[in-house]
């Protein structure tokens, strides 16, 4: 056990550390001399008291594994409880947060009583970070850093279902940059890209924690406002319009001589008689109306005024 290349430690039936191998010392930055004979092993992994997987096995708290560790493995043969988990660890002594995979194996004596638990660890930080980067690429717009169209579609579908279950309203804003072609022609594609990034930041700054703003396509953005009334959506839309106007990005070829946005708003009570795609269509129609009425304004569905 001491010479294993894999970090490992062993707890007795009272959760006292029996073995803390050299690989575990290297991973945690904590020497065995400080840990063996104590129950302070959690301090090597977390800033605050928290059971390790081995602790849960010893304390027979196996039903808590799936709650403490959202990512857990499949049950071992003959066991109804997963004994493999993955989690972020603070690693206070090592000085850097790590994503670790842990496996716990109980050891029983001849009478079937628990004698000890061996926990082995694998550092999956690099793999985890690579996976997160790929996930971000799949859901984020490369230019603005906002959610992309795919993420918008998935989120809208999920929020629609949630709104239907909870009988809550869901609002949508469609935001379009006015006279963007003229701006692009005058400032070039790099200037146009910078303009879109500035506007994306302005729109995102008006969001609540559970709202989503996405680059819908080209110079158009979409905002999902869960549990928001039409009146509330109109207030958010006006804040966005005003904030973009205050950027004072010059656009000499536009009627107002600066960059502005038009916004269409729509709200629905999700139910079996309507759909998320209908909400998008209504918000799109409101956006078209805002453009038709002169731009740099918000528009609500015609039936709502």
From first to last of its 305 residues, the chain has per-residue pLDDT tens of 777 899 999 999 999 999 999 999 999 999 999 999 999 999 999 999 999 999 999 999 988 888 888 776 655 554 544 489 999 999 999 999 999 999 999 999 999 999 999 999 999 999 999 998 888 888 999 999 999 999 999 999 999 999 999 999 999 999 999 999 989 988 999 999 999 999 999 999 999 999 999 999 999 999 999 999 999 999 999 999 999 999 999 987 767 789 999 999 999 999 888 999 999 999 999 999 999 999 999 999 975 44
Q: Which domains does the chain have, with CATH numbers?
A: 8-130 (3.30.450.20), 140-304 (3.30.70.270)
Q: Clarify whether 219 is annotated catalytic.
A: yes
Q: SS in 3 state form for the chain?
A: CCCCCCCEEEEECCCCEEEECHHHHHHHCCCHHHHCCCCCHHHHCCCCCCCCHHHHHHCCCHHHHHHHCCEECCECCCCCCECEEEEEECCCCCCCCEEEEEEEEEEECCCCCEEEEEEEEEECHHHHHHHHHHHHHHHECCCCCCECHHHHHHHHHHHHHHHHHHCCEEEEEEEEECCHHHHHHHHHHHHHHHHHHHHHHHHHCCCCCCCEEEEEECCEEEEEEECCCHHHHHHHHHHHHHHHHHCCCECCCCCCCECCEEEEEEEEECCCCCCHHHHHHHHHHHHHHHHHCCCCCEECCHHHC
**Which of 2, 126, 219, 238 is labelled catalytic?**
219
pTM, full prediction = 0.64
């Amino acid at each position: 056990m001491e010479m294993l290349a894999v970090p490992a430690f062993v707890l007795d039936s009272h959760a006292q550390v029996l073995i803390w191998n050299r690989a575990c010392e290297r991973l945690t930055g904590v020497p065995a001399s400080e840990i063996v004979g104590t129950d302070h092993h959690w301090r090597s992994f977390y800033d605050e008291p928290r059971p390790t997987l081995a602790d849960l096995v010893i304390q027979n708290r196996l039903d808590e594994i799936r709650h403490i560790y959202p990512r857990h493995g499949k049950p071992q043969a003959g066991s109804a409880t997963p004994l493999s988990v993955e989690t972020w660890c603070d690693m206070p002594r090592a000085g850097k947060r790590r994503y670790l995979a842990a496996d716990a194996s109980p050891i029983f004596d001849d009478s079937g009583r628990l004698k000890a638990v061996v926990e082995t660890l694998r550092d999956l930080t690099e793999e985890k970070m690579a996976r997160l980067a790929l996930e971000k690429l799949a859901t984020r717009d490369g230019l603005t850093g906002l959610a992309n169209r795919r993420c918008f579609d998935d989120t809208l579908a999920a929020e629609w279902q949630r709104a239907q279950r909870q009988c809550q309203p869901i609002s949508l804003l469609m935001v379009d940059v006015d006279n963007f072609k003229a701006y692009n022609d005058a400032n070039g594609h790099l200037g146009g890209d910078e303009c879109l990034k500035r506007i994306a930041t302005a729109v995102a700054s008006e969001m609540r924690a559970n709202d989503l703003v996405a680059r819908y396509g080209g110079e158009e953005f979409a905002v999902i406002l869960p549990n928001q009334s039409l009146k509330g959506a109109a207030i958010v839309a006006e804040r966005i319009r005003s904030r973009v106007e205050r950027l004072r990005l010059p656009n000499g070829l536009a009627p107002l001589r600066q960059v502005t946005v038009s916004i269409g708003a729509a709200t629905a009570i999700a139910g079996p008689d309507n759909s998320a795609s209908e909400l998008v269509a209504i918000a799109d129609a409101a956006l078209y109306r805002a453009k038709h009425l002169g731009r740099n304004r918000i528009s609500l569905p015609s039936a709502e005024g």
